[in-house]
Chain A
Amino acid sequence: MTPRRLPPALALPALLTALGVLLPLSYLVLRALGAQGEELREIVFRSRNLELLRNTLGLALGVLVAGTALALPLAYLAARTTFRPRRLLMLLGALPLALPGYVGAYALIAASGPGGTIEAATGINWPGPSGFWGALGVLTLFTFPYLFLNLHAALRTQDSALEDAARLLGRTPWQTFWAVTLPHLRPAWLAGSLLVTLHVLGDFSVVSLMRYPTFSAAIYQQYTAAYDRVYSAWLALMLLAVTGLTLWLEARLMRGVYLTRVSPGGARQLARFPLRGWAPLAWAFVLVLAGAALVVPLGTILYWLRLEQGPSALVGLLEATRSALGAAGLAAVTTTVLAFPLAYIGNRYAGRWARVTERVAYLGYATPPLAFALALIFFVLRSAPDLYQTFALLILAYTLHFVAEAIGPLRTSLGRATPRLEEAARVLGAPPGRTLWRITLPLMRPGLLVSAAFVFLSVLKELPLTLLLAPTGFETLSRNVWTYTEEAQYAAAAPYALVLAASGAVLTGLILRRER
């Protein structure tokens, strides 16, 4: 069936998603414009803004470069060489995603410096990470998987005939890599880069712990300490402008990339590059990376866990685990439910509406969470104060922010439930509802599960929305890790960090298995 018009049952969720993101944001603008002439000029032209901008952009660029330097060799090793065991590389490339950045920062801070894990274990006083390089290191270690997963998929599915053709036309392997392989990675790299950049722009926890002021760190500081509403609104707007610039740049660079396979490519096995003499170097790279991204953080958590825990620690842990899992579970369901119509429109309808819907879904994801939370607070306090600090608002914020994450796997699985099958069901006498229930949804089950797992994991790790929007007394794993780390109570933070890391690892493992 090729229906021209979008049925209201599908258009409504898209409209509500757009309203849910845009209304609070527009309120942010109103709020920012609340300042008067002189004050306004003072805020906008504060020299600190320029410093924040420089820091934010510098950090984003640095993480991108460093992340690529880690992700590209690792992806190439996993996809194109004879390195074994390959599964180790996949785990190394994906597992750091399970560890939230602030847990990583916590672990690295708690590991170094006087009295840290490294000194206790080796006697060497390892300098603690801080400032630009500290933030760069931690953010790189825990966001490079976005690049790795994209690059790996692209490398693995590349048409081997292209490289063969280049070799037959007289290029050396090295020239072929530069002239054929690398250009083909551009879309994958851009997609991964966008995720990394959005993550860096939105992160306030790592930069705060490393004392490196960026827009997000400044917003958080304003919110907790100074509480200058007009200035925080302005900071949020500036951050939004930087995000908008990033999105525009990505779209711009993506334009004109035509890498569709023109020849009828067979599913030929890609030739793997024999490592031989390079093997020790590859192993050194892998081991150092594994040490920094996985062993040190986990070791530190376990080390601090040995130290004496308060008597009420276990009760608190159980309480926080329960509320964290509850919130994540509920948000996973609501987000997947909201994502379904959006994915359906994107997959089944051509034209302007489908494109707009897709953009709408990514709006909430691209909006830096602190800016979004702030906008929601302003908006709710003015229009529905009863909602402020309620569980419902928290779940709504999670849903609007993470809906884009759920759309990808759903769209992929909609490819399995083709329109032809739905038509077959209709002709066999099944009305639309029964068709959805008996045919479309069962066929989409793997996608639904992966979507829900993605969102579940993200909500579990999520910090800024939780900090700003959760009801008072609502303690989650992420919130407690953050609070204790901020107060330098590393031992108290350890159990929460461990449970978080463990559930993250289990979920990441499940997603990896499903997606294979």
Chain B
Amino acid sequence: MVLGEWKKEQERATPPILEIENLGKRYAPGLPPVLEGLNLHMKAGELVTLLGPSGCGKTTTLRLIAGLETPDTGRVCINGREVTSPFLPPERRGVGLVFQDYALFPHLTVLGNVCFGLHTLPRAKRVVRARETLALVGLTVFENRYPHQLSGGQQQRVALARALAPRPALLLLDEPFSNLDAGLRHSTRQEVRAILRRSGMAALLVTHDQEEALAFSDRLVVMRSGHVEQVGTPHEVYAQPRTAFVANFLGRSNLLSGTAWGLQARTALGDVLLAEPAHGPVLVSVRPEHLAFARPGEDGVPVTILAREYKGHDVTYTVRLGQQELLVHDASDTIWPEGAGARVRVTRAARAVR
């Protein structure tokens, strides 16, 4: 109890690392806004991900925070300091940015790249700090190489070291893993996450890869055409999608229309339990893993199996229910043939979404 009070007190005392209020941006008058009324708060040491399809304004948000674009409306505060009016140029904002294509300076060595942001330090300290940071990403032996002599993963880590070296209050990462091949992407992501945790730095990651977003962040911000759709921990957002868009973008989902009364809804799958009460016509989201084939003796709605996608640890079936196609994840040993008839049932409370 006492400890809890103290922690709350602490949180109130340290200002949020990033505060965004009502941020809006339009690239040309007449064009639809790329960003509208965006709000976001980040605590010290927090890892937050902006997730959304391409063109949803997530990269623009990052560039507005970094000072590479000027907002039309709203304000941005970094470490309690307002940076939008008067406009603070990027070199005075104290944020780090890892670019999607890394943007390593091709005419400087690895060490030169990492030292570039350290020009305010005395000369002797620069190299020491740069080597420390390179050690953090495990690249000290490459310090005299030029960027083109490094592999993609190594370049990625140099870009990270370069952004980390000046010890920014906030690190921005713009799809930093998208240029790596699948295997490398996974390990690099884990590594970067560990490095950020160790350094205690707050980081804002932009990605369109839902798996990356779920694995990387403490908090997830799902964006869609310039505004925030839902914010929460990865688990919250995945398990309790508030809109049909979130339900479909984060993982796959079966959306069924129905009529709700309280904790129940009548849909094509029969009467379904709802996690939260709702009334009237609703859209119900049922995850494929929350559908199962009924065993003999269990209730179920009859369906026809259309297609089977075998994935080793489980199987995804596409089944037809009336006019609608549904996805079912099945982890049991029984393999259903395509074209066969079966019965499915809902195993978990579903969510009514907008």
Which residues of A are at the interface with B, using a C-beta cutoff of 8 A? 1-2, 416, 418, 420-421, 423-431, 434, 438-439, 442-443
Contact = CB atoms under 8 A, between A and B. Distances in A.
A431 B117 CA distance: 11
B332 interface: no
B103 A1 contact: no
A443 B116 contact: no
B203 to A, nearest CB: 14
- The 9 A-B residue pairs with the shortest CB-CB distance, nearest first, are A428-B117, A424-B103, A426-B90, A420-B103, A427-B97, A429-B91, A427-B90, A442-B107, A426-B91
Contacts of A438: 116
B105 A429 contact: no
B117 A421 contact: no
A249 to B, nearest CB: 35
B116 A426 contact: no
B105 A439 contact: yes
A1 B69 contact: yes
A188 B94 CA distance: 48
B66 interface: yes
* Most chain A beta-carbon neighbours within 10 Å: one of B67, B68, B96, B120: B68
A421 B105 contact: yes
A490 to B, nearest CB: 50
A354 to B, nearest CB: 16
B89 A443 contact: no
Given A420-B101, A423-B68, A424-B99, A430 B106 contact: no
A389 B77 CA distance: 60
A427 B96 CA distance: 6
Nearest to B66: A427
B119 A430 contact: yes
B162 interface: yes
B95 A429 contact: no
Nearest to A427: B97
Contacts of B67: 426-427
Interface string B24-64: 00010000000000000000000000000000000000000
A425 B91 CA distance: 8
B71 interface: no
A431 B91 contact: yes
B166 interface: yes
Contacts of A429: 91-92, 94, 117, 119-120, 166
Interface string B74-103: 000000000000000111111111010101
Nearest to A1: B68
A446 to B, nearest CB: 11
Contacts of B92: 429
Contacts of A418: 103
Contacts of B119: 429-430, 434
A434 B91 CA distance: 11
Nearest to A425: B116
8 contacts: A1-B68, A416-B106, A420-B101, A421-B106, A426-B89, A431-B89, A438-B116, A442-B107
A431 B119 CA distance: 11
* Most chain A beta-carbon neighbours within 10 Å: one of B66, B91, B92, B96: B91
Nearest to A421: B103
Contacts of A426: 67-68, 89-91
A426 B99 CA distance: 13
Contact of B103 (A423, A431, A434): A423
Contacts of A442: 107
Nearest to A445: B107
Given A439-B105, A443-B107, A430 B91 contact: yes
B81 to A, nearest CB: 16
Given A421-B103, A427-B93, A434-B119, 11 more contacts: A1-B68, A1-B69, A418-B103, A426-B67, A426-B68, A427-B90, A428-B96, A430-B117, A430-B119, A431-B89, A443-B107
Contacts of A424: 97, 99, 103-105, 162
Contact of B116 (A2, A416, A423, A428): A428
A431 B107 CA distance: 19
A2 B69 CA distance: 7
B107 A427 contact: no
Interface in B136-163: 162-163
Contacts of B68: 1, 423, 426-427
Nearest to B92: A429
A427 B95 CA distance: 7
Contacts of A420: 99, 101, 103
B120 A428 contact: no
Nearest to B159: A424
* Most chain B beta-carbon neighbours within 10 Å: one of A421, A426, A429, A438: A429
B106 to A, nearest CB: 7
Contacts of A428: 91, 96, 116-117, 162-163, 166
A431 B162 CA distance: 17
A429 B162 CA distance: 12
Interface string B159-203: 000110010000000000000000000000000000000000000
* Most chain B beta-carbon neighbours within 10 Å: one of A2, A428, A438, A439: A428
A420 B97 CA distance: 11
Contacts of A443: 105-107
A420 B59 CA distance: 14
Contacts of A431: 89, 91
Contacts of A427: 66-68, 90-91, 93, 95-97, 163
Given A420-B99, A421-B105, A443-B106, A430 B69 contact: no
B90 to A, nearest CB: 4
A167 B303 CA distance: 55
B112 to A, nearest CB: 10
B113 to A, nearest CB: 9
A351 to B, nearest CB: 11
B276 to A, nearest CB: 43
Contacts of B66: 423, 427
Given A1-B68, A420-B103, A423-B103, A430 B116 contact: yes
A348 to B, nearest CB: 14
Nearest to B100: A420
